Protein backbone atom coordinates (compact mmCIF):
# COMPACT_ATOMS: atom_id res chain seq x y z
CA UNK A 1 0.00 0.00 0.00
CA UNK A 2 1.51 3.27 -1.05
CA UNK A 3 1.43 6.21 1.30
CA UNK A 4 0.36 9.47 -0.27
CA UNK A 5 -0.96 12.88 0.59
CA UNK A 6 -4.48 11.75 1.36
CA UNK A 7 -3.40 9.12 3.88
CA UNK A 8 -1.34 11.74 5.69
CA UNK A 9 -4.29 14.12 5.77
CA UNK A 10 -6.54 11.34 7.11
CA UNK A 11 -4.13 10.77 10.00
CA UNK A 12 -4.09 14.48 10.85
CA UNK A 13 -7.90 14.54 10.65
CA UNK A 14 -8.19 11.60 13.06
CA UNK A 15 -5.88 13.39 15.49
CA UNK A 16 -7.98 16.55 15.26
CA UNK A 17 -11.16 14.61 16.05
CA UNK A 18 -9.54 13.20 19.17
CA UNK A 19 -8.41 16.68 20.22
CA UNK A 20 -11.94 17.98 19.54
CA UNK A 21 -13.37 15.59 22.12
CA UNK A 22 -10.57 16.29 24.57
CA UNK A 23 -11.14 20.05 24.40
CA UNK A 24 -14.88 19.54 24.77
CA UNK A 25 -14.33 18.54 28.40
CA UNK A 26 -14.45 22.09 29.80
CA UNK A 27 -16.34 25.23 28.74
CA UNK A 28 -13.12 27.24 28.54
CA UNK A 29 -11.63 25.10 25.78
CA UNK A 30 -14.80 23.78 24.18
CA UNK A 31 -14.97 26.23 21.29
CA UNK A 32 -11.43 25.29 20.37
CA UNK A 33 -12.74 21.72 20.27
CA UNK A 34 -15.37 22.63 17.69
CA UNK A 35 -12.79 24.37 15.51
CA UNK A 36 -10.53 21.35 15.74
CA UNK A 37 -13.41 19.11 14.68
CA UNK A 38 -14.27 21.41 11.79
CA UNK A 39 -10.70 21.51 10.51
CA UNK A 40 -10.49 17.73 10.84
CA UNK A 41 -13.62 17.31 8.76
CA UNK A 42 -12.42 19.81 6.16
CA UNK A 43 -9.13 17.92 5.81
CA UNK A 44 -10.98 14.63 5.48
CA UNK A 45 -13.19 16.02 2.70
CA UNK A 46 -10.27 17.65 0.85
CA UNK A 47 -8.16 14.52 1.16
CA UNK A 48 -10.97 12.42 -0.27
CA UNK A 49 -11.46 14.80 -3.19
CA UNK A 50 -7.73 14.45 -3.95
CA UNK A 51 -7.94 10.67 -4.22
CA UNK A 52 -7.36 9.41 -7.76
CA UNK A 53 -10.52 7.25 -7.64
CA UNK A 54 -12.56 10.43 -7.46
CA UNK A 55 -12.84 11.84 -10.96
CA UNK A 56 -16.38 13.05 -11.29
CA UNK A 57 -16.89 16.26 -9.33
CA UNK A 58 -20.23 17.68 -10.53
CA UNK A 59 -22.43 15.47 -8.38
CA UNK A 60 -20.20 15.91 -5.36
CA UNK A 61 -20.14 19.69 -5.68
CA UNK A 62 -23.91 19.82 -6.12
CA UNK A 63 -24.38 17.57 -3.09
CA UNK A 64 -22.06 19.62 -0.90
CA UNK A 65 -23.79 22.86 -1.89
CA UNK A 66 -27.33 21.55 -1.38
CA UNK A 67 -26.37 19.92 1.92
CA UNK A 68 -24.87 23.18 3.18
CA UNK A 69 -27.92 25.10 2.00
CA UNK A 70 -30.10 22.84 4.17
CA UNK A 71 -27.65 22.60 7.06
CA UNK A 72 -26.96 26.30 7.64
CA UNK A 73 -30.58 27.38 8.26
CA UNK A 74 -31.19 24.19 10.23
CA UNK A 75 -28.46 25.27 12.65
CA UNK A 76 -28.85 29.02 12.69
CA UNK A 77 -32.63 29.47 12.73
CA UNK A 78 -33.53 26.70 15.15
CA UNK A 79 -34.63 28.08 18.54
CA UNK A 80 -32.62 26.66 21.43
CA UNK A 81 -35.67 24.93 22.88
CA UNK A 82 -35.74 22.85 19.69
CA UNK A 83 -32.20 21.53 20.01
CA UNK A 84 -33.34 17.95 20.78
CA UNK A 85 -35.45 17.85 17.61
CA UNK A 86 -32.60 19.24 15.55
CA UNK A 87 -30.23 16.64 16.90
CA UNK A 88 -32.69 13.89 16.03
CA UNK A 89 -33.27 15.04 12.46
CA UNK A 90 -29.59 15.67 11.86
CA UNK A 91 -28.86 12.20 13.16
CA UNK A 92 -31.41 10.80 10.71
CA UNK A 93 -29.52 12.49 7.85
CA UNK A 94 -26.17 11.10 8.95
CA UNK A 95 -27.55 7.59 9.36
CA UNK A 96 -29.31 7.75 6.00
CA UNK A 97 -26.04 8.73 4.30
CA UNK A 98 -24.30 5.79 5.87
CA UNK A 99 -27.08 3.37 4.90
CA UNK A 100 -27.22 4.58 1.30
CA UNK A 101 -23.48 4.23 0.87
CA UNK A 102 -23.82 0.65 2.06
CA UNK A 103 -26.59 0.06 -0.48
CA UNK A 104 -24.51 1.51 -3.30
CA UNK A 105 -21.54 -0.63 -2.30
CA UNK A 106 -23.70 -3.73 -2.22
CA UNK A 107 -25.05 -3.22 -5.73
CA UNK A 108 -21.63 -2.25 -7.05
CA UNK A 109 -19.57 -5.13 -5.69
CA UNK A 110 -21.94 -7.81 -4.35
CA UNK A 111 -19.03 -8.62 -2.02
CA UNK A 112 -18.60 -11.86 -0.13
CA UNK A 113 -17.62 -12.63 3.42
CA UNK A 114 -16.13 -10.02 5.69
CA UNK A 115 -16.89 -6.95 3.58
CA UNK A 116 -20.50 -7.99 3.09
CA UNK A 117 -20.79 -8.59 6.84
CA UNK A 118 -19.51 -5.09 7.56
CA UNK A 119 -21.87 -3.62 4.95
CA UNK A 120 -24.81 -5.51 6.45
CA UNK A 121 -24.10 -4.09 9.92
CA UNK A 122 -23.62 -0.64 8.43
CA UNK A 123 -26.96 -0.79 6.61
CA UNK A 124 -28.91 -2.40 9.45
CA UNK A 125 -27.78 0.28 11.93
CA UNK A 126 -28.02 3.03 9.32
CA UNK A 127 -31.55 2.30 8.14
CA UNK A 128 -33.00 1.62 11.58
CA UNK A 129 -31.37 4.76 12.99
CA UNK A 130 -32.82 6.79 10.12
CA UNK A 131 -36.44 5.90 10.77
CA UNK A 132 -35.96 5.78 14.55
CA UNK A 133 -34.50 9.30 14.51
CA UNK A 134 -37.32 10.59 12.32
CA UNK A 135 -39.80 9.07 14.80
CA UNK A 136 -37.90 10.61 17.70
CA UNK A 137 -38.06 13.93 15.88
CA UNK A 138 -41.83 13.53 15.50
CA UNK A 139 -42.25 12.79 19.19
CA UNK A 140 -39.98 15.61 20.33
CA UNK A 141 -41.66 18.07 18.00
CA UNK A 142 -45.03 16.82 19.24
CA UNK A 143 -46.17 15.92 15.77
CA UNK A 144 -46.65 12.44 17.21
CA UNK A 145 -48.04 11.68 20.68
CA UNK A 146 -45.14 11.66 23.13
CA UNK A 147 -46.82 9.11 25.39
CA UNK A 148 -45.65 5.58 24.70
CA UNK A 149 -47.85 3.50 22.43
CA UNK A 150 -47.90 -0.14 23.43
CA UNK A 151 -49.77 -3.20 22.26
CA UNK A 152 -49.87 -6.79 23.32
CA UNK A 153 -46.93 -8.88 22.21
CA UNK A 154 -45.09 -5.76 21.08
CA UNK A 155 -41.67 -6.89 22.24
CA UNK A 156 -42.07 -10.28 20.58
CA UNK A 157 -43.10 -8.66 17.30
CA UNK A 158 -40.19 -6.19 17.46
CA UNK A 159 -37.55 -8.74 18.36
CA UNK A 160 -38.98 -11.19 15.82
CA UNK A 161 -38.72 -8.56 13.12
CA UNK A 162 -35.14 -7.75 14.07
CA UNK A 163 -34.37 -11.48 14.14
CA UNK A 164 -35.68 -11.95 10.59
CA UNK A 165 -33.68 -8.92 9.39
CA UNK A 166 -30.50 -10.34 10.91
CA UNK A 167 -31.22 -13.77 9.44
CA UNK A 168 -31.62 -12.27 5.95
CA UNK A 169 -28.40 -10.35 6.47
CA UNK A 170 -26.61 -13.60 7.29
CA UNK A 171 -28.01 -15.23 4.13
CA UNK A 172 -26.84 -12.22 2.10
CA UNK A 173 -23.36 -12.49 3.59
CA UNK A 174 -23.15 -16.10 2.43
CA UNK A 175 -24.97 -15.57 -0.88
CA UNK A 176 -24.70 -11.90 -1.88
CA UNK A 177 -26.13 -12.76 -5.30
CA UNK A 178 -29.62 -13.36 -3.82
CA UNK A 179 -30.36 -9.73 -4.49
CA UNK A 180 -34.16 -10.20 -4.29
CA UNK A 181 -33.66 -10.52 -0.52
CA UNK A 182 -31.97 -7.14 -0.30
CA UNK A 183 -35.07 -4.87 -0.47
CA UNK A 184 -36.75 -7.06 2.18
CA UNK A 185 -33.75 -6.57 4.45
CA UNK A 186 -33.87 -2.80 3.96
CA UNK A 187 -37.63 -2.66 4.58
CA UNK A 188 -37.35 -4.70 7.78
CA UNK A 189 -34.57 -2.44 9.11
CA UNK A 190 -36.65 0.65 8.34
CA UNK A 191 -39.77 -0.80 9.99
CA UNK A 192 -37.82 -1.91 13.05
CA UNK A 193 -36.61 1.66 13.53
CA UNK A 194 -40.22 2.88 13.65
CA UNK A 195 -41.41 0.11 15.98
CA UNK A 196 -38.45 0.65 18.30
CA UNK A 197 -39.47 4.26 19.07
CA UNK A 198 -43.27 3.81 19.29
CA UNK A 199 -43.26 2.43 22.86
CA UNK A 200 -40.81 5.04 24.15
CA UNK A 201 -42.16 8.04 26.02
CA UNK A 202 -40.98 11.64 25.94
CA UNK A 203 -38.97 11.62 29.16
CA UNK A 204 -36.93 8.62 28.00
CA UNK A 205 -35.78 10.55 24.95
CA UNK A 206 -32.42 11.59 26.48
CA UNK A 207 -31.41 7.93 26.66
CA UNK A 208 -32.78 7.03 23.26
CA UNK A 209 -31.25 9.99 21.43
CA UNK A 210 -27.88 9.14 22.93
CA UNK A 211 -28.28 5.51 21.93
CA UNK A 212 -29.21 6.43 18.36
CA UNK A 213 -26.18 8.69 18.28
CA UNK A 214 -24.12 5.66 19.18
CA UNK A 215 -25.73 3.56 16.41
CA UNK A 216 -25.01 6.23 13.80
CA UNK A 217 -21.36 6.20 14.87
CA UNK A 218 -21.13 2.42 14.77
CA UNK A 219 -22.68 2.44 11.32
CA UNK A 220 -19.95 4.80 10.09
CA UNK A 221 -17.45 2.55 11.81
CA UNK A 222 -18.69 -0.54 9.94
CA UNK A 223 -18.37 1.43 6.75
CA UNK A 224 -14.75 1.99 7.70
CA UNK A 225 -14.25 -1.77 7.85
CA UNK A 226 -16.03 -2.30 4.51
CA UNK A 227 -14.01 0.41 2.74
CA UNK A 228 -10.83 -0.37 4.68
CA UNK A 229 -10.67 3.23 5.86
CA UNK A 230 -9.14 3.77 9.30
CA UNK A 231 -10.36 7.37 9.58
CA UNK A 232 -13.96 6.18 9.37
CA UNK A 233 -13.25 3.50 11.96
CA UNK A 234 -11.75 6.02 14.38
CA UNK A 235 -14.39 8.75 13.95
CA UNK A 236 -17.19 6.18 14.07
CA UNK A 237 -15.79 4.54 17.20
CA UNK A 238 -15.44 7.91 18.94
CA UNK A 239 -19.07 8.73 18.20
CA UNK A 240 -20.22 5.21 19.04
CA UNK A 241 -18.56 5.23 22.43
CA UNK A 242 -19.70 8.77 23.17
CA UNK A 243 -23.36 7.98 22.49
CA UNK A 244 -23.10 4.76 24.43
CA UNK A 245 -21.58 6.31 27.53
CA UNK A 246 -24.12 9.15 27.52
CA UNK A 247 -27.00 6.70 27.36
CA UNK A 248 -25.48 4.77 30.29
CA UNK A 249 -25.25 8.03 32.28
CA UNK A 250 -28.90 8.76 31.46
CA UNK A 251 -30.04 5.26 32.46
CA UNK A 252 -28.15 5.52 35.72
CA UNK A 253 -29.77 8.88 36.43
CA UNK A 254 -33.14 7.15 36.21
CA UNK A 255 -32.05 3.95 37.97
CA UNK A 256 -33.23 1.91 35.02
CA UNK A 257 -31.62 -0.56 32.68
CA UNK A 258 -31.31 -0.32 28.93
CA UNK A 259 -33.81 -3.12 28.49
CA UNK A 260 -36.28 -1.29 30.68
CA UNK A 261 -35.94 1.92 28.66
CA UNK A 262 -36.21 0.15 25.30
CA UNK A 263 -38.84 -2.45 26.11
CA UNK A 264 -40.50 -1.14 29.27
CA UNK A 265 -43.19 1.05 27.72
CA UNK A 266 -42.55 3.32 30.70
CA UNK A 267 -44.70 6.34 31.38
CA UNK A 268 -48.20 5.07 30.77
CA UNK A 269 -50.81 6.60 33.01
CA UNK A 270 -51.13 4.38 36.05
CA UNK A 271 -54.68 3.24 36.65
CA UNK A 272 -54.39 3.37 40.44
CA UNK A 273 -53.86 7.13 40.51
CA UNK A 274 -57.26 7.88 39.04
CA UNK A 275 -59.10 6.25 41.93
CA UNK A 276 -57.67 8.47 44.65
CA UNK A 277 -59.66 11.34 46.10
CA UNK A 278 -58.35 14.86 45.63
CA UNK A 279 -56.08 15.79 48.51
CA UNK A 280 -55.72 19.32 49.84
CA UNK A 281 -52.69 21.37 48.81
CA UNK A 282 -51.57 24.82 49.88
CA UNK A 283 -51.40 27.32 47.09
CA UNK A 284 -50.07 30.87 47.04
CA UNK A 285 -50.37 33.98 44.91
CA UNK A 286 -47.48 35.69 43.16
CA UNK A 287 -47.55 38.39 45.83
CA UNK A 288 -47.13 35.94 48.71
CA UNK A 289 -44.47 33.97 46.87
CA UNK A 290 -42.57 37.16 46.05
CA UNK A 291 -42.54 38.06 49.73
CA UNK A 292 -41.11 34.69 50.75
CA UNK A 293 -38.48 34.78 48.01
CA UNK A 294 -37.28 38.27 48.93
CA UNK A 295 -36.90 37.27 52.60
CA UNK A 296 -34.84 34.19 51.77
CA UNK A 297 -31.08 34.05 51.97
CA UNK A 298 -30.52 31.01 49.80
CA UNK A 299 -32.69 30.01 46.84
CA UNK A 300 -32.31 26.97 44.62
CA UNK A 301 -34.19 26.86 41.31
CA UNK A 302 -34.94 23.45 39.82
CA UNK A 303 -35.86 23.64 36.12
CA UNK A 304 -37.51 20.82 34.19
CA UNK A 305 -38.92 20.17 30.76
CA UNK A 306 -41.89 22.42 31.60
CA UNK A 307 -39.51 25.38 31.59
CA UNK A 308 -38.53 24.58 28.01
CA UNK A 309 -42.15 24.15 26.93
CA UNK A 310 -43.14 27.49 28.48
CA UNK A 311 -39.96 29.18 27.12
CA UNK A 312 -39.52 30.50 30.66
CA UNK A 313 -35.70 30.55 30.79
CA UNK A 314 -35.41 34.30 30.19
CA UNK A 315 -37.90 35.13 32.96
CA UNK A 316 -36.01 32.78 35.28
CA UNK A 317 -32.84 34.71 34.57
CA UNK A 318 -34.61 38.00 35.37
CA UNK A 319 -35.73 36.55 38.69
CA UNK A 320 -32.18 35.31 39.32
CA UNK A 321 -30.71 38.75 38.59
CA UNK A 322 -33.24 40.52 40.79
CA UNK A 323 -32.72 38.22 43.76
CA UNK A 324 -28.93 38.22 43.33
CA UNK A 325 -28.94 42.01 43.37
CA UNK A 326 -30.66 41.87 46.75
CA UNK A 327 -27.80 39.75 48.06
CA UNK A 328 -29.66 36.45 47.91
CA UNK A 329 -27.65 33.42 46.91
CA UNK A 330 -29.44 31.94 43.88
CA UNK A 331 -28.31 28.74 42.24
CA UNK A 332 -29.74 26.21 39.82
CA UNK A 333 -29.94 22.49 40.50
CA UNK A 334 -29.66 20.43 37.33
CA UNK A 335 -30.86 16.85 37.25
CA UNK A 336 -29.06 14.75 34.60
CA UNK A 337 -32.29 13.73 32.85
CA UNK A 338 -34.17 17.02 33.14
CA UNK A 339 -35.46 17.90 29.68
CA UNK A 340 -35.44 15.93 26.49
CA UNK A 341 -31.75 15.39 25.85
CA UNK A 342 -28.61 15.18 27.99
CA UNK A 343 -27.69 18.66 29.25
CA UNK A 344 -30.82 20.28 27.78
CA UNK A 345 -31.42 22.60 30.79
CA UNK A 346 -27.85 23.92 30.79
CA UNK A 347 -28.10 25.04 27.18
CA UNK A 348 -31.39 26.84 27.75
CA UNK A 349 -30.14 28.64 30.85
CA UNK A 350 -26.91 29.53 29.11
CA UNK A 351 -28.98 30.95 26.27
CA UNK A 352 -30.73 33.18 28.81
CA UNK A 353 -27.30 34.39 30.01
CA UNK A 354 -27.24 32.56 33.32
CA UNK A 355 -23.54 32.17 34.16
CA UNK A 356 -22.64 28.48 34.06
CA UNK A 357 -20.95 28.46 37.48
CA UNK A 358 -24.46 28.87 38.91
CA UNK A 359 -25.60 25.59 37.34
CA UNK A 360 -24.93 22.90 39.93
CA UNK A 361 -25.04 19.16 39.35
CA UNK A 362 -27.26 16.91 41.41
CA UNK A 363 -24.54 15.25 43.53
CA UNK A 364 -23.03 18.59 44.47
CA UNK A 365 -26.21 20.41 45.45
CA UNK A 366 -28.11 17.66 47.26
CA UNK A 367 -25.92 17.92 50.37
CA UNK A 368 -26.83 21.60 50.64
CA UNK A 369 -30.57 21.29 50.10
CA UNK A 370 -31.18 21.09 53.86
CA UNK A 371 -29.63 24.55 54.28
CA UNK A 372 -31.70 26.10 51.51
CA UNK A 373 -34.45 28.55 52.44
CA UNK A 374 -36.54 28.29 49.31
CA UNK A 375 -36.54 25.78 46.47
CA UNK A 376 -38.41 26.96 43.41
CA UNK A 377 -39.42 24.17 41.04
CA UNK A 378 -40.26 25.22 37.49
CA UNK A 379 -41.80 22.58 35.27
CA UNK A 380 -40.12 19.59 36.92
CA UNK A 381 -41.96 16.72 38.58
CA UNK A 382 -40.56 13.20 38.72
CA UNK A 383 -37.00 14.36 39.36
CA UNK A 384 -38.06 15.87 42.72
CA UNK A 385 -40.55 13.15 43.72
CA UNK A 386 -39.63 11.74 47.16
CA UNK A 387 -41.47 8.51 46.25
CA UNK A 388 -38.23 7.53 44.50
CA UNK A 389 -36.66 7.25 47.96
CA UNK A 390 -39.59 6.24 50.22
CA UNK A 391 -41.85 4.03 48.16
CA UNK A 392 -40.19 0.87 46.93
CA UNK A 393 -43.31 0.00 44.92
CA UNK A 394 -43.20 3.20 42.89
CA UNK A 395 -42.28 3.00 39.19
CA UNK A 396 -39.48 5.47 39.85
CA UNK A 397 -38.20 3.74 43.01
CA UNK A 398 -34.44 4.13 43.37
CA UNK A 399 -34.16 6.93 40.84
CA UNK A 400 -31.78 9.58 42.15
CA UNK A 401 -33.72 12.79 42.80
CA UNK A 402 -32.97 16.36 43.76
CA UNK A 403 -33.80 16.54 47.47
CA UNK A 404 -36.11 19.54 47.18
CA UNK A 405 -38.20 18.25 50.10
CA UNK A 406 -35.31 18.91 52.50
CA UNK A 407 -35.32 22.67 51.99
CA UNK A 408 -37.28 24.93 54.39
CA UNK A 409 -39.89 26.01 51.84
CA UNK A 410 -40.73 24.46 48.50
CA UNK A 411 -42.53 26.34 45.76
CA UNK A 412 -43.81 24.58 42.68
CA UNK A 413 -44.88 26.45 39.57
CA UNK A 414 -47.28 24.16 37.77
CA UNK A 415 -50.29 24.42 35.49
CA UNK A 416 -52.47 22.05 37.48
CA UNK A 417 -52.33 18.91 39.54
CA UNK A 418 -51.82 16.49 36.64
CA UNK A 419 -49.20 13.80 37.31
CA UNK A 420 -45.79 13.95 35.66
CA UNK A 421 -44.37 11.78 32.95
CA UNK A 422 -44.16 8.66 35.09
CA UNK A 423 -47.89 9.06 35.71
CA UNK A 424 -47.54 8.96 39.49
CA UNK A 425 -48.62 11.36 42.16
CA UNK A 426 -45.97 13.53 43.82
CA UNK A 427 -45.93 13.45 47.64
CA UNK A 428 -43.95 16.68 47.61
CA UNK A 429 -47.01 18.70 46.60
CA UNK A 430 -48.94 17.71 49.74
CA UNK A 431 -46.23 18.56 52.28
CA UNK A 432 -46.90 21.34 54.78
CA UNK A 433 -43.93 23.37 53.62
CA UNK A 434 -44.94 23.23 49.96
CA UNK A 435 -46.70 26.07 48.18
CA UNK A 436 -48.24 25.41 44.80
CA UNK A 437 -48.06 28.35 42.41
CA UNK A 438 -50.64 27.53 39.77
CA UNK A 439 -50.26 29.06 36.33
CA UNK A 440 -48.18 29.19 33.18
CA UNK A 441 -44.50 29.17 34.16
CA UNK A 442 -43.53 32.16 32.06
CA UNK A 443 -46.49 34.31 33.12
CA UNK A 444 -46.11 33.40 36.79
CA UNK A 445 -42.40 34.18 36.80
CA UNK A 446 -43.14 37.50 35.12
CA UNK A 447 -45.57 38.45 37.89
CA UNK A 448 -43.05 37.30 40.52
CA UNK A 449 -40.44 39.57 38.97
CA UNK A 450 -42.93 42.45 38.89
CA UNK A 451 -43.97 41.95 42.52
CA UNK A 452 -40.41 41.78 43.79
CA UNK A 453 -39.17 44.83 41.92
CA UNK A 454 -42.28 46.87 42.83
CA UNK A 455 -42.83 46.02 46.49
CA UNK A 456 -39.59 44.79 47.93
CA UNK A 457 -37.05 47.38 46.92
CA UNK B 1 -6.61 -6.56 3.40
CA UNK B 2 -5.74 -6.23 7.03
CA UNK B 3 -8.96 -6.59 8.98
CA UNK B 4 -7.05 -7.49 12.10
CA UNK B 5 -5.40 -4.09 12.06
CA UNK B 6 -8.83 -2.47 11.68
CA UNK B 7 -10.06 -4.18 14.84
CA UNK B 8 -7.05 -2.93 16.80
CA UNK B 9 -7.76 0.61 15.59
CA UNK B 10 -11.43 0.21 16.54
CA UNK B 11 -10.64 -1.08 20.01
CA UNK B 12 -8.16 1.68 20.80
CA UNK B 13 -10.42 4.42 19.44
CA UNK B 14 -13.41 3.10 21.40
CA UNK B 15 -11.44 3.03 24.67
CA UNK B 16 -10.06 6.49 23.99
CA UNK B 17 -13.61 7.70 23.29
CA UNK B 18 -14.85 6.30 26.62
CA UNK B 19 -12.03 7.97 28.54
CA UNK B 20 -12.47 11.33 26.81
CA UNK B 21 -16.25 11.43 27.10
CA UNK B 22 -16.22 10.49 30.78
CA UNK B 23 -14.25 13.65 31.48
CA UNK B 24 -16.79 15.92 29.80
CA UNK B 25 -18.73 18.02 32.29
CA UNK B 26 -22.50 17.26 32.28
CA UNK B 27 -22.88 20.99 31.69
CA UNK B 28 -21.78 20.40 28.10
CA UNK B 29 -23.59 17.16 27.32
CA UNK B 30 -25.88 18.72 24.71
CA UNK B 31 -23.10 20.42 22.71
CA UNK B 32 -21.04 17.27 23.10
CA UNK B 33 -23.79 15.26 21.46
CA UNK B 34 -24.09 17.72 18.62
CA UNK B 35 -20.34 17.57 18.12
CA UNK B 36 -20.05 13.78 18.08
CA UNK B 37 -23.11 13.73 15.84
CA UNK B 38 -21.26 16.04 13.44
CA UNK B 39 -18.10 13.92 13.63
CA UNK B 40 -20.17 10.85 12.67
CA UNK B 41 -20.94 12.59 9.40
CA UNK B 42 -17.43 11.47 8.43
CA UNK B 43 -19.51 9.10 6.27
CA UNK B 44 -19.33 11.98 3.77
CA UNK B 45 -15.97 10.44 2.84
CA UNK B 46 -17.69 7.27 1.69
CA UNK B 47 -20.37 9.30 -0.07
CA UNK B 48 -17.76 11.25 -2.03
CA UNK B 49 -15.97 8.06 -3.05
CA UNK B 50 -19.23 6.53 -4.33
CA UNK B 51 -20.48 9.52 -6.27
CA UNK B 52 -17.11 10.57 -7.69
CA UNK B 53 -16.27 7.22 -9.18
CA UNK B 54 -15.42 7.00 -12.85
CA UNK B 55 -17.72 4.24 -14.09
CA UNK B 56 -20.48 4.54 -11.55
CA UNK B 57 -23.91 3.24 -12.51
CA UNK B 58 -26.85 5.63 -12.37
CA UNK B 59 -28.02 3.87 -9.23
CA UNK B 60 -24.81 4.42 -7.31
CA UNK B 61 -24.51 7.96 -8.66
CA UNK B 62 -27.96 8.79 -7.29
CA UNK B 63 -27.41 6.98 -3.99
CA UNK B 64 -24.04 8.66 -3.62
CA UNK B 65 -25.50 12.06 -4.39
CA UNK B 66 -28.29 11.71 -1.82
CA UNK B 67 -25.71 10.47 0.67
CA UNK B 68 -23.48 13.50 0.04
CA UNK B 69 -26.46 15.82 0.55
CA UNK B 70 -27.61 14.24 3.79
CA UNK B 71 -24.12 13.78 5.25
CA UNK B 72 -23.32 17.41 4.46
CA UNK B 73 -26.57 18.55 6.08
CA UNK B 74 -25.66 16.65 9.22
CA UNK B 75 -22.08 17.92 9.14
CA UNK B 76 -22.78 21.61 8.55
CA UNK B 77 -25.71 21.93 10.93
CA UNK B 78 -23.97 19.85 13.59
CA UNK B 79 -20.84 22.00 13.74
CA UNK B 80 -22.68 25.30 13.45
CA UNK B 81 -25.16 24.63 16.20
CA UNK B 82 -22.47 23.27 18.52
CA UNK B 83 -20.58 26.50 18.16
CA UNK B 84 -23.76 28.54 18.55
CA UNK B 85 -24.50 26.77 21.82
CA UNK B 86 -20.99 27.05 23.20
CA UNK B 87 -20.90 30.78 22.50
CA UNK B 88 -23.70 31.15 25.04
CA UNK B 89 -21.85 29.55 27.93
CA UNK B 90 -20.40 32.39 29.97
CA UNK B 91 -18.83 32.27 33.36
CA UNK B 92 -20.24 35.59 34.59
CA UNK B 93 -23.56 37.02 33.53
CA UNK B 94 -23.61 40.60 32.23
CA UNK B 95 -26.14 41.93 34.76
CA UNK B 96 -23.99 41.70 37.86
CA UNK B 97 -23.29 44.26 40.51
**CATH code of the region A280-455:** 3.40.50.1220
**What is the arrangement of strands in the sheet containing A298-303, beginning at the earlier edge strand?**
A359-361, A329-334, A298-303, A374-378, A409-414, A434-438
* Predicted confidence (pLDDT) per residue in A234-286, tens digit: 999 999 999 999 998 888 888 888 777 776 655 544 444 444 556 788 888 88
pLDDT(A183) > 90: yes
Residue of A nearest to B32 (CA): A24
Q: Are A303 and A380 in contact (CB under 8 A)?
A: yes
pLDDT at A402: 93
Q: Which of A230, A237, A353 sits opposite B90 (nearest CB)?
A: A353
Residues 225-264 in A contacting B (C-alpha not used; CB under 8 Å): 225, 227-243, 245-246, 249
**10 Å Cβ neighbour count for B18?**
16
Q: Does A278 touch chain B (CB under 8 A)?
A: no
pLDDT at B10: 95
pLDDT at A272: 44
Q: Which of B21, B46, B53 sits opposite A21 (nearest CB)?
A: B21
Contacts 24+ apart (CB under 8 A), A219-222: A219/A95, A219/A98, A219/A99, A219/A121, A219/A122, A219/A123, A219/A125, A219/A126, A219/A129, A219/B43, A220/A94, A220/A98, A220/A122, A220/B40, A220/B42, A220/B43, A221/B10, A222/A102, A222/A118, A222/A119, A222/A121, A222/A122, A222/A125
**CA dist B36 → A24, A77, A99 (Å):** 10, 21, 18
Q: Are strands A329-334 and A298-303 parallel, antiparallel or unpaired?
A: parallel
pLDDT at A415: 82
Q: Are A263 and A199 in contact (CB under 8 A)?
A: yes
**Domain chopping of chain B, boundaries:** 26-88
Known catalytic membership, residue A295 = no
Q: What is the ipTM of this complex?
A: 0.93
Angstroms from A236 CA to nearest CA on chain B: 6
* Predicted confidence (pLDDT) per residue in A7-35, tens digit: 999 999 999 999 999 999 999 999 999 99
**CA dist A351 → A317, A343, A346, A356, B84 (Å):** 10, 13, 8, 10, 10
Q: Would the pTM of this model clear 0.95, i.e. be above it?
A: no
* Predicted confidence (pLDDT) per residue in B39-96, tens digit: 999 999 999 999 988 888 899 999 999 999 999 999 999 999 999 999 998 876 554 4
Mean pLDDT, rounded, for A346-369: 92
SS3 B54: coil
* Predicted confidence (pLDDT) per residue in A424-452, tens digit: 788 899 998 999 999 899 999 999 999 98
Amino acid sequence: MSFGVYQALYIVAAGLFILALKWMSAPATSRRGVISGEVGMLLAVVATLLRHEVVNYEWIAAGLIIGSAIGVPLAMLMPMTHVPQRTAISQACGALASALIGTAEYYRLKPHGFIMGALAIEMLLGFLTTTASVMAFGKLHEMLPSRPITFKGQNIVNLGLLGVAVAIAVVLVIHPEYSYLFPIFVALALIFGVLMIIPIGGADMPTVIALLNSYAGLSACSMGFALDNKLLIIAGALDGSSGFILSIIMCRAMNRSFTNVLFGGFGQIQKSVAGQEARPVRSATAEEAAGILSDARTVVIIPGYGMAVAQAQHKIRELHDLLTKRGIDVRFAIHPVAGRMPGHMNVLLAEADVPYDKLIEMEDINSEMGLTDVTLIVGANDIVNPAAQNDSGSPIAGMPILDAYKSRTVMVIKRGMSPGFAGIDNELYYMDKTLMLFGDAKAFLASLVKEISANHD
Amino acid sequence: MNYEFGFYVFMLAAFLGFELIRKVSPLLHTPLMSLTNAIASISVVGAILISGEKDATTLSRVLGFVAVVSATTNLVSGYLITDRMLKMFKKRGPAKK
